[in-house]
Amino acid sequence: MKAKRPVKDIKLDQPMTVDSLIRQMGSSGGFTGRKLAEAVDIVEEMVRKDDCITFLSFPACIMATGTRGVIVELVKRKLVDVIITTCGTLDHDLARVWKSYYHGDFLMDDVKLHKEGVNRLGNVLVPNSSYGTILERKLQPMFRQIMKDRTTISTRELIDEVGARVDDENSLVHWCHRNNVPMFVPGITDGSFGSQMWMYWQDHRKTTMNLFQDEQDLMDIIFTAKEAGAIMIGGGISKHHTIWWSQFRGGLDHAVYLTTAVEYDGSLSGAQVREAVSWGKVKETADHVTVEGDATIALPIIVASLVERLESE
């Protein structure tokens, strides 16, 4: 193979923006730094194409951090069309509408924290009063209002109805409702939001969650998409549901994956995007990249660079 692209040094002796740094990283030949630059290029291509449906999938944990604001910005600017995530995303988004989370440390005494009624999520502290207690107090009246004249609802519909009742511009569900971005949570009972719905069901036994309607809605989106792309953060049910449905249209046309997991144990979280090609979940011809690294670092940089490009037109 004949080498054609020389490695260039990053120059920091000039005023620069996030995007100018990212563009230099694309020329630097620098391991994951170059992958980060490739990710911005692929995401830019997705969002610039009017006929491309852009999926965003992610786990709940980053919603407990300031990265929540980056995800909200993507929806606020209508840069993504569909969200697939986990139940905890609803928990953290809604809990932070009404209460605060706090800074902590990875090395804190967890026994002491438990005795004090404080939950530790990495280096973020979530007091009981800021989580289960407040969610029960706020969600039960909402559920009674939403379900007043009905006995069945899909998770997408329920999330949208809750978003319609949340008047907070920092909230993801608020902006999903406002900008008509559907949010799908396949594992709806795996978190406090789902548990609160289960508690509602104790006194309303005719109530059902129509999960098949969610799948029907996803099918309608997938089968009518001329192109499909995905920004996928972490693994689990949110990533798999995204690529699972994509296989029914022949795979994703564009894919960016952010992960901290390794692939040698065969996990979905560690699986590189190229593995999904073998399943037909990503097209053989797709442009794709796997960026190894913490999403609380990588995602804000990617989105900041993207926004600069779009605003420079």
Residues annotated as catalytic (active site), given as ranges: 281
Helices first, then strands: H and E counts in the chain: 13, 11
- The residues, any chain, with a CB within 8 Å of residue 155's CB and separated by 6 or more, are 184, 185, 186, 188, 209, 211, 214
Do residues 81 and 228 make contact, with C-beta atoms less than 8 angstroms apart?
Answer: no
Q: How many CB atoms lie within 10 A of CB 214?
A: 23
Q: HSE-up of 48 (CA within 13 Å, CB side)?
A: 12
Identify the CA nearest to 56 among candidates 78, 36, 83: 83
d(CA 236, CA 192): 18
Phi, psi angles (nearest 5°) of residue 54: -105, 120
Phi, psi angles (nearest 5°) of residue 50: -65, -30
Structure tokens belonging to residue 89: 């995303």
Question: What is the H or E stretch that residue 25 is in?
Answer: helix 18-28
What DSSP string runs through 51-94?
A: TEEEEEEE-GGGGGSTTHHHHHHHHHTT--SEEEE-HHHHHHHH
Length of the chain: 313
- In this structure, which long-range contacts are made by residues 172-176, counting pairs with CB atoms below 8 Å and at least 24 apart in sequence? 172/63, 172/68, 172/71, 172/72, 172/75, 172/83, 172/89, 172/93, 173/90, 173/93, 173/94, 175/72, 175/75, 175/76, 176/75, 176/83
Identify the CA nearest to 46 among candidates 280, 229, 245: 229
